[in-house]
Amino acid sequence: MILAPITLTGHAQKEAWQNKVLPPIEQLGRDVWSIPVSFPHNPMRYTLSYLLLGDGEAILIDPGWDSEEGLTNLTAGLRQAGLGLTDLTGIVVTHFHSDHLGMAARLRVASGAWVALGEREVRRFTASEDLDLVLSMHREELTLWGVPAARLSEVAMNRPSLVHLQNLADPDLRLSEGSLVPAQGLDLRVITTPGHSPGHICLVDEPHGLIFSGDHVLPRISPHIALELPGPANPLADYYASLDLIAFEDEMEVCPAHEYRFRGMQRRVAQLVEHNRARSAEVLRVVEEHQPKTVWDITRHLTWSRGWDSLQSFSLRLAVSETASHVVYLRSNGHAINVPVTHPHLVEL
């Protein structure tokens, strides 16, 4: 199917993306700034953080991965807007992933700003969590999905990554669907868009004609929609519903958390729906042709951009958990796929 292309607006960002360098800090309107924050050792390379100035307010959306380099990037962006770190009054984070929430804890200490997440967002591992239990349940889940014992330690999360997640900032505020971010002189409306994470939010700024889309809608890549336990029962169904919600208009400029800005939210949503539908169809074909016994069996028969053998550790885990989300979704639509997916004693949120 041929779908209408989106309209690129972040030209300097796209050029930087292609040249594998950090894009420039940009002023998007009198009171709005785009500040790229380095995302070290990751192919995404940077998170686009946004600074919005209200009446005595300085709100930062998605401060990015916690690193010295990233802090330097942010400080430089604030300086261009005539501010210092201590001037921040609020930090809004679209979802809990470390490349968005990571730097929030440090910025809160430096500035006293509040940190806000969506009301449905989970903090997967709180300080009180028994990490050994989490790790063993996670390994059980992967085993159930058919990850071979010999590859379990490669694919599974390890203790350092859990400790890292545990140390992310706990929010001071929770933002509910349709509410406004509490900042004088700003008009930032919250749209709850679960899918990429259980409580992902987007922010709509009508006066500036901007939509801050986090990782829900990106111009080039299709966000990872994973089945994670504990977590929502059918994340792909949630994602489709969230795409519907955000496709309310096509003219506003979309400010994503990665890659580059564009216009054409409805066009991009149509592409993302088509991409996921095609993937689900491929899962059904694999089920028919190969009679797989596990999620792993399905995953290895799917097409992968750099080939199945290129998938390792983290990317392999993403591949398997994404396939699991398609299986759950297809089953909820009446397709009989006979592979084990959900573990009886893991809680659904």
Shortest distance in whole angstroms from residue 99 CB to Zn ion: 4
Q: Which positions from 286 to 325 touch Zn ion by CB under 5 A, shown as an x/- string?
A: ----------------------------------------
Nearer to Zn ion, 141 or 215 (CB): 215
Nearer to Zn ion, 89 or 197 (CB): 197
Per-residue CA distances from 210 to 8, 191, 271 (Å): 14, 13, 20
Q: What angle do CA 331, 199, 58 make, to 5 degrees?
A: 155
Nearer to Zn ion, 100 or 300 (CB): 100
Is 62 one of the binding residues for Zn ion (CB under 5 A)? no
Per-residue CA distances from 120 to 175, 193, 270 (Å): 9, 10, 25
CA nearest neighbour of 232 among 270, 175, 192, 272: 192
- Within residues 168-187, the interface with Zn ion by CB under 5 A covers none
Shortest distance in whole angstroms from residue 37 CB to Zn ion: 11
Is 99 one of the binding residues for Zn ion (CB under 5 A)? yes
CA nearest neighbour of 147 among 35, 31, 297: 297
Instruction: Return the residue matching tokens 């940009």.
Output: 26
Nearer to Zn ion, 108 or 258 (CB): 258
Count of chain residues binding Zn ion (CB under 5 A):
2
Nearer to Zn ion, 88 or 93 (CB): 93
Nearer to Zn ion, 147 or 226 (CB): 226
> Would residue 20 be called left, alpha or beta, if left means φ above 0 and alpha means ψ between -120 and 50 degrees?
left
**272/220 Cα distance (integer angstroms):** 10
Q: What angle do CA 257, 261, 262 make, to 5 degrees?
A: 130
Shortest distance in whole angstroms from residue 134 CB to Zn ion: 22
Length, in residues, of the chain? 349
Shortest distance in whole angstroms from residue 214 CB to Zn ion: 7
Nearer to Zn ion, 66 or 215 (CB): 215
Shortest distance in whole angstroms from residue 267 CB to Zn ion: 22
Shortest distance in whole angstroms from residue 143 CB to Zn ion: 28
Q: In what order do the strands lie in the sheet with 114-118?
A: 26-29, 32-38, 46-53, 58-61, 90-92, 114-118, 173-175
Shortest distance in whole angstroms from residue 224 CB to Zn ion: 9
Shortest distance in whole angstroms from residue 82 CB to Zn ion: 28
Shortest distance in whole angstroms from residue 151 CB to Zn ion: 26
Single out the segment in contact with Zn ion by CB under 5 A; choices: 17-25, 69-77, 98-106, 179-187.
98-106
Nearer to Zn ion, 39 or 296 (CB): 39
Single out the segment in contact with Zn ion by CB under 5 A; choices: 99-107, 132-140, 188-196, 319-327.
99-107
**How many of the other CB atoms lie within 10 Å of CB of 35?**
28
DSSP, collapsed to helix, strand or coil, labels residue 92 as strand
What's the one-letter identity of residue 69? E
Shortest distance in whole angstroms from residue 100 CB to Zn ion: 6
- Using DSSP bridges, classify how beta strands 46-53 and 32-38 pair: parallel, antiparallel or unpaired: antiparallel
DSSP, collapsed to helix, strand or coil, labels residue 244 as helix
Is 215 one of the binding residues for Zn ion (CB under 5 A)? yes
**How many of the other CB atoms lie within 10 Å of CB of 338?**
10
Strand partners, 205: 210
CA 319 remoteness from chain centre: 15
Nearer to Zn ion, 31 or 215 (CB): 215
Structure tokens at 345: 């004693």
Single out the segment in contact with Zn ion by CB under 5 A; choices: 108-116, 212-220, 267-275, 295-303.
212-220
Single out the segment in contact with Zn ion by CB under 5 A; choices: 93-101, 179-187, 193-201, 221-229.
93-101
Nearer to Zn ion, 22 or 131 (CB): 22
- Residues lying near Zn ion in the complex (CB under 5 A) are found at 99, 215
